[in-house]
Amino acid sequence: MIGKIKLIDENGLRVDGRKPGELRPVKMEVGVLKNADGSAYVEQGNTRVLAAVYGPREIHPKHLTLPDRAILRTRYHMVPYSTDERKSPAPTRREIELSKVIREALESVIFVELYPRTTIDVFIEVIQADAGTRTAGLMAASLALADAGIPMRDLIAAVAVGKVNGTLVLDINQVEDEFGEADMPIAMMPNLGEIVLLQLNGVLTEEEFYEALKLAQKGIVQLYEIEKQALMRKYCLG
């Protein structure tokens, strides 16, 4: 409980009225920025993320060039007005860490060997944060890369599973993130069944861990379909 507010009520519903296995409302759109090679917008509940991709293009300074593959440069950034309290525009330690985590996940899906001596730059801007920003950022980046025409093994779909009042819940919001017992972001290449990111904050039993993984996979299948629909709206129906 938070004061007098229950995180799970007597009917098994969460603070925002969802059932434990229910996603927040999701909106995805590609091609939202005309000056980027690829771009995407992801809205998940009250979390809103914008991603832009530039490249493959010549790298500067040239001594950073790799002869056998492209360099992937990724920046995850929360704008100062994205949270309740205004944050500094300077990159925080968490933003630097998540930039690295997201880059490693994206590198596992991009065919970087097709573009030697180049760079692919990915910019992820969190314009409103209500938990799940790294997973929404990964999906936005994945869609923006697809929009840029960069070959990938698969799209990335991602979601966080939490433990709230002893109950596993899908796609946690900010209140559940702050006051729950655990938070486990998971990202996958759904068509290949491969996990590209898995982190755990908090404690789960072995049984809870595998149950949370199943719950995440259920949500990821739904998100993957929404991603494909977003691309189809632009490239098949537009």
Of the listed ranges 79-83, 101-105, 170-174, 223-227, the one predicted with least confidence: 79-83
Q: What is the mean pLDDT of residues 47-59?
A: 95
Of the pLDDT bands very low, low, confident and very high (cuts 50, 70, 90), residue 63 is confident
pLDDT at 46: 94
- What is the dihedral sign for C-alpha 2, 82, 233, 109? negative
> Is the per-residue pLDDT at 159 higher than 60?
yes
pLDDT at 1: 43
Q: What domains can you pick out in the chain, each with its CATH number?
A: 26-235 (3.30.230.70)
Of the pLDDT bands very low, low, confident and very high (cuts 50, 70, 90), residue 88 is low
Neighbours of 202 (CB within 10 A): 11
pLDDT at 2: 43
Beta-bridge partner residues of 118: 58
Q: Write the secondary structure of the chain as one string of H (helix), E (strand) and C (coil).
A: CECCECCECCCCCECCCCCCCCCCCEEEEECCCCCCCEEEEEEECCEEEEEEEEEEEECCCHHHCCCCCCEEEEEEEECCCCCCCCCCCCCCHHHHHHHHHHHHHHHCCECHHHCCCEEEEEEEEEEECCCCHHHHHHHHHHHHHHHCCCCECCCCEEEEEEEECCEEEECCCHHHHHHCCEEEEEEEECCCCEEEEECCEECCCHHHHHHHHHHHHHHHHHHHHHHHHHHHHHHCCC
> Is the per-residue pLDDT at 4 higher than 60?
no
Distance CA(40)–CA(31), nearest Å, equals: 6
Burial class of residue 21, CB neighbours in 10 A (0-12, 13-18, 19+): middle
| Strand arrangement, sheet containing 47-58 | 26-30, 38-44, 47-58, 118-128, 71-78
% of residues, the chain, pLDDT over 70: 93
Average pLDDT of the chain, as a whole number = 92
% of residues, the chain, pLDDT over 90: 79
Of the pLDDT bands very low, low, confident and very high (cuts 50, 70, 90), residue 92 is confident
Query: Using one digit for the tens of pLDDT, what is the confidence trace for 212-224?
Result: 999 999 999 999 9
Of the pLDDT bands very low, low, confident and very high (cuts 50, 70, 90), residue 81 is low
Of the pLDDT bands very low, low, confident and very high (cuts 50, 70, 90), residue 152 is very high
Q: Is the link from the previous residue into 20 a cis peptide, with omega within 30 of 0? A: no
Beta-bridge partner residues of 52: 39, 123
* pTM for the predicted model, two decimal places: 0.92
> Is the per-residue pLDDT at 175 higher than 70?
yes
The label of the residue with tokens 């404690």 reads 203
The label of the residue with tokens 């990202």 reads 187
> Is the per-residue pLDDT at 87 higher than 90?
no
